[in-house]
A and B are shown apart, each in its own frame.
Chain A
């Protein structure tokens, strides 16, 4: 019978080996599916890697994908760290995008130097305020935030749909539910020539670093970590748990809202209802993969984006469905969670 004994400290070697072992296990486990699909395993993985990181174009595509994922990953990481389970990043992302279009769609005339920050702030505020509702319901009435944030996603999407079919519909869209475009002076600059990588990537990475610093070095970061690690003890020590929870919710929602701003002003140019293929939900996976560490979120987002982009290009070359990307991400999350858990224990055979 194997028995688990907990370690007092995780040795560095094991802390490094654990994630590598998890990825290796994922690739081995998913090989079965590739064989099942009738493709050569080695070739498929080479194509997957090439499609994600094998060329300038591939890297650019992966980074473009990673940009919103970093922000939604940060949104989940910040909230989860304080034990506030925000499942609603998808809805906050769409509201952030909608607010960006409202400000940057040409309806307001002001110098771009003023309008650009205003557009960013509007997106962040829209996402933040939208998450404030379930946060207040949780702190005041004890309503479970998992349920409310999840359900608010549908409300947000329906609201956006209503706006895109109504007041904010682009008159030149030939009947498609889509918004007017962001005016060209307000769109994000391109980072790489002839690619879709935009300066939103820089913003996302800077925010990850800022959050890491906030966590480690500021009083507010201390309060968030204290509340997340042990809310009862934090309250005993005089931390106002509710106020920290509300601030955290505002921050988390704002990050998801910014993801929406980046997508609409950096990549798509205008807002449609299929702008996000579930970035808000993927953010949760990324945050968990990263162990809720803001810097880890950047790596995890690039990893997940690479799998998605790589699987796309792989499936174009050989007959393996793109769904394999979802399976790989899911298996890697599970094996990463098991690996980090096992890293904290020692297995004894008796």
Chain B
């Protein structure tokens, strides 16, 4: 029997006290799709980084097609035929597809570049695998799905025989996901091997032959995709049963609490009109980059609208973060580490950062440190923020705990409205369900919630109504979307998007 495409034996990697990978052994056959399933922090990224030479394992060995792979050497990994497609694309927007594929493949000191041959080779590769793309198109003009195709082509052009895809579906519409899966099937038919990293169970079952489940750095299970179920995988992944958050029936008490009319802001947000009632969660779906960021910024008071207005309980809100905070809008920014908190400042200083001017925290310009630390302790306790204490810098916390702090400092003031942009992005299952339950609890208290998310599962799970953003315009809201309908709306091909406003 020939050697497997890839063989990991006894890979162990420690970061201080944390064991990121604990004695992981697995192999990948030629022409196989192996899914690597696990929560955030389970050790998937570390494992892949070791494979790709970014980290050196403390113990263990890697063999590629029977040959040992030297550790800590990305060049050797590339030469051995390992190709990586990152979740966040590594393409230069203002260069052509061909340029992007060629970057790094040519020696720096060659006087001429052999573009004609390179172009022919790129076209050959793209035909061979059915990945059609125009080599002269600028990356900026391509859709997200097409960009991903360029990333895959880039790896294939360099002769990759083992392809690692890191959360490849996170940025795609449901239809684009279908197209990606079709591509993967052709690649595998051609003898390539694929490692598919995901935490989405449906996709893992749909695309892979075998599933490796990681939990807390350990390989806890290896299953044939045909012989397992979503429920089993979920339990393996989390290590316990996870109950979906209980959502009460629609308890909206009518009457618009937050109303947005004809809002246009920044370069991307053209027209958004919607109302959110008391005790309602209003979901906003869409492929990233369709104006959600600008809508979120406007709803946080960061971005002044060019047209339209935002009213809370009938009163218009002037565009300034302070006004919004003062009016009782709780805000959860998309970028929790760099916008939500100031990483270098202490946790207690971040816990009161939105209301540090209030009389209880600032008297005659002097800070009331005792009161602020007291408040921080309250938030830490009430919202289960795991940290080494209120004096530690905020950046010492994990993403999930930073998010709990951000949510906690806003919820503790009993907001009338909540604006949350991708509140659970990149969090582990436990943190996700905690954040959801907190948002649902605020909803029961009568808050109007705007939930902007690229995760349809999340929106379907907790939103009362959902509208779709496409090219800066918000569709009418519906409570009865099917996945297929919403996928079409996200791609801008739904009649409903254009007919109503």
Residues of A within 8 A of B (CB): 1, 8, 217-222, 225-226, 229-230, 232-238, 240, 350
Q: How far is the CB of B255 from chain A (nearest CB, A)?
A: 28
Within 8 A of A (CB), among B322-367: 322, 325, 331, 333, 338-345, 349, 353-354, 356-357, 362, 365-367
Q: How far is the CB of B113 from chain A (nearest CB, A)?
A: 30
List 4 additional contacts besides A236-B340, A237-B356; criterion CB under 8 Å: A220-B365, A229-B344, A236-B321, A236-B339
Instruction: Determine how close the nearest CB of chain A comes to the CB of B213; give it in whole angstroms.
Output: 29
Number of B interface residues in the complex (CB < 8 A): 30
CB interface residues, B 54-98, toward A, < 8 Å: 56, 72
Q: Smallest Cβ distance from B19 to chain A, in angstroms?
A: 16
In the complex, the chain B residue whose C-beta lies closest to that of A229 is B344
Flag if A222 contacts B349 (CB, 8 Å): yes
From B320, B331, B367, name the one whose CB has the most chain A CB atoms within 10 angstroms.
Answer: B367
A-B contact list, 25 entries, CB within 8 Å: A1-B72, A217-B367, A217-B369, A218-B365, A219-B367, A220-B365, A221-B367, A222-B349, A226-B353, A229-B343, A229-B344, A230-B343, A232-B339, A233-B338, A233-B340, A234-B342, A235-B321, A236-B302, A236-B331, A236-B333, A236-B340, A237-B342, A237-B353, A237-B356, A238-B354
Does the CB pair B365–A229 fall under 8 Å? no
Contact, CB under 8 Å: B356 / A219: yes
Answer yes or no: B300 CB below 8 A from chain A CBs.
Answer: yes
CB distance from A210 to the nearest CB of B (A): 13
**Is B127 on the interface with A (CB-CB < 8 A)?**
no
**Judging by beta carbons under 8 Å apart, are B322 and A350 in contact?**
no
Distance of A276 Cα from B227 Cα, bound (Å): 82
Instruction: Tell me the nearest residue of chain B to A227, going by C-beta.
Output: B342
Given A217-B366, A226-B353, decide whether A235 and B302 contact each other with a Cβ distance below 8 A. yes
Pick the residue among B322, B342, B369 that contacts A233 (CB under 8 A): B342
Interface centre among B321, B322, B341, B396 (most CB of A within 10 A): B321
Instruction: Check if A232 sits within 8 Å of B338, measured CB to CB.
Output: yes
Are B325 and A238 interface neighbours, CB within 8 A? yes
Q: How far is the CA of A8 from the CA of B395 in the complex (A)?
A: 10
Q: What is the distance, in angstroms, from B147's C-beta to the closest C-beta of chain A?
A: 26
Q: Give complex CA distance A26, B16 in Å.
A: 33
CA distance A238 to B349 in the complex (A): 14
By Cβ-Cβ distance, the 8 closest A-B pairs, closest first, are A237-B353, A238-B322, A238-B321, A229-B344, A219-B362, A230-B342, A233-B342, A229-B342
Kindly state the separation between the CA atoms of A230 and B336 in the bound complex, as whole angstroms. 12
B338 touches A218 (CB 8 A): no
Residues of A within 8 A of B16 (CB): 8
* A residues near B72, Cβ cutoff 8 Å: 1, 350
CA distance in complex: A236, B356 (Å) = 13
B353 touches A225 (CB 8 A): no
Cβ contact of A222, chosen from B339, B344, B367, cutoff 8 A: B367
- Please give me the residue from chain A that is nearest to B361 by CB atom: A219
Smallest CB-CB separation from B333: which chain A residue?
A: A236
B340: chain A residues at CB < 8 Å are 233, 236
A250 shortest CB reach to chain B, Å: 16
Across-interface contacts of A217 in B (CB, < 8 A):
366-367, 369
* Contact between chains at B362 and A229 (CB < 8 Å): no
Q: How far is the CA of A286 from the CA of B345 in the complex (A)?
A: 24
CB distance from A80 to the nearest CB of B (A): 14
Q: Is the CB of A8 within 8 A of B396?
A: yes
Contacts of A236 in B (CB 8 A): 300, 302, 321, 331, 333, 339-340
Cα distance, A221 to B269, chains bound together (Å): 36
By a CB distance below 8 angstroms, the chain B residues around A237 are 321, 342, 353-354, 356
Give the residues in chain A near B300, CB-CB below 8 Å: 236
B372 to chain A minimum Cβ distance, whole angstroms, is: 10
B367 with A230: CB separation less than 8 A: no
Closest partner residue, chain B, to A230 (CB atom): B342
A350 to chain B, nearest CB (A): 6
Residues of A within 8 A of B331 (CB): 236
CB distance from B367 to the nearest CB of A (A): 6
Best-buried of B325, B341, B345 by chain A (most CB within 10 Å) = B345
Residue pair B356, A218 in contact (C-beta under 8 Å): no
Whether A233 and B341, one on each chain, are in contact in the complex, defined by CB atoms closer than 8 angstroms, is yes
Assembled-state Cα–Cα distance A236/B344 (Å): 16
Question: Which B residues are in CB contact (< 8 Å) with A232?
Answer: 338-339
**How far apart are the CA atoms of A134 and B321 in the complex, in Å?**
26
Residues of B within 8 A of A8 (CB): 16, 396
Question: What's the minimum C-beta distance from B62 to chain A, rounded to whole angstroms?
Answer: 16
In the bound complex, residues from chain A placing their C-beta under 8 Å from that of B343 are 229-230
Docked complex Cα distance between A119 and B473 (Å): 61
Within the complex, the shortest CB–CB distance from A245 to chain B, in Å, comes to 16
Give B387 Cβ to nearest chain A Cβ, in Å: 13
Chain B nearest CB, measured from A81 CB (Å): 11
- Residues of B within 8 Å of A225, CB to CB, are 345
